[in-house]
Structures are given as C-alpha cells and as structure tokens.
Amino acid sequence: MDFFTLNVEANFFANRPSADDFPPGGFRGLYFESVPEESVPRNSINADAMWRISDSTVLLGDIEQNLDQNELATSSVGLAVQRDTHLAYFLGLRYIGQINSTIANFAFNYQLSTRYSIVFNQSYSLSEKQNQQTNVTVIRRFDRFFVTLSIYYDEIEDNSGFSFGIFPEGLGYTASTDQLQRVFGPQ
C-alpha cells in the first residue's frame, strides 16, 4: 500500500489548433490516450497527489497550470474517510480558474443494512454563496444486481427530478441510466 503518491505530467503540443478553436482558452487541457482525436489540447503541467494518512483516511489533491494562458486552470483538495464498514464520506474544495469559482463538496455513503444504502452529495459555491447541486440516492442490493432511486436538484441548470437505475453487480452502483445512455447510446 502506498503511503504517498505524486504524479506529474507535462503536455506540449507542436501542431495543435489555436485556443480559439477549443474554448474556453484558459481551461484545463484533456488528453485521452484511447481517443486522442477527442482530446482538448493545451500546453500544461498537471500534478496530483495522494497521502494515505491512515488505513481509513486519505488526503487528495490535484492542480493544473495552463501554460498557454500562464494561469492556474484548476486545483482541488479533498479528504476521503472510511469509518467502520457502514460510513464513508468526502469533503473537498475545487477552484476553477476560468470562472474564478471555488466549490465546496460534501458527500457521504451510509449502509443502512446489508440490502440498503443511502448516498448524499451536496455542492456549494463559496464564490457565489449559493447551492450548486444536491443529490440523494437510495441503493437496494439484490443477489446479482442493484436498483437505485435518486432525487436531485441542480441549481446551475435550474432543474430537478429523479432517476431510476438497474444494473448488474459487476458494473458498480455509481452508474445510472444517464451514464449508461452516454456510454452505450447513439453518438
């Protein structure tokens, strides 16, 4: 088990389109090895670190410096904690340089019984002093599949609603109908 990990990556593109072709110009670059044609090229330096404070507590952080605009694109720090087998939670802060916004996030997963769990996620903009998103999900575990029911409110997009998911055990219960449709649906 790693006590501390640090990953540093530098991206430099010689024959890339101008930043105007991929707005916003000051945001972070994204490179996908599996589909490089889908990448958003930006000259950048990225770093992420993980410090395992104990067997159940991890401090995480990442940063990206956009070298094209010579500005901080994004940075974040978070604390992930697993307390006993029933409770896990996350506290985090993320700064997004392009919109000069700092967002706080709190999430927890609590196992109510061997069959039921509840997940809560709250995002709040410290810069704008307003709620960003709230999500509550109830997960029911069956022998070989999961069923989820989520209720959400997204103040950024000004919408709310619910979603229902059903999926096999190996896929993971963080997947939803929306995510599966994006992955497997028509492009």
Q: Could you list the residue range(s) of the whole structural domain that residue 68 is in?
A: 4-184
Peptide bond into 186 cis (omega under 30): no
Q: How many domains in the chain?
A: 1
Is 22 in a helix, a strand, or coil?
coil
φ, ψ at 49 (rounded to 5°): -140, 150
- The enclosing domain of 128 has a CATH number of 2.40.160
Whole-number Å distance between alpha carbons of 22 and 187: 20
Q: What is the pTM of this model?
A: 0.75
- Here the tokens at position 20 are 């105007």
121 to 11, 29, 64, 151, 174: CA distances (angstroms): 33, 27, 25, 11, 12
- Of 80, 73, 112, 123, nearest to 95 (Cα)? 73
Q: Tens digit of pLDDT per residue, the chain (187 long)?
A: 689 999 998 888 777 666 566 666 666 666 677 877 777 778 889 999 999 999 899 999 999 998 888 889 899 999 999 988 899 999 999 998 888 899 999 999 999 999 999 999 999 999 989 999 999 999 999 989 999 999 999 998 889 999 999 988 877 655 444 544 444 444 4
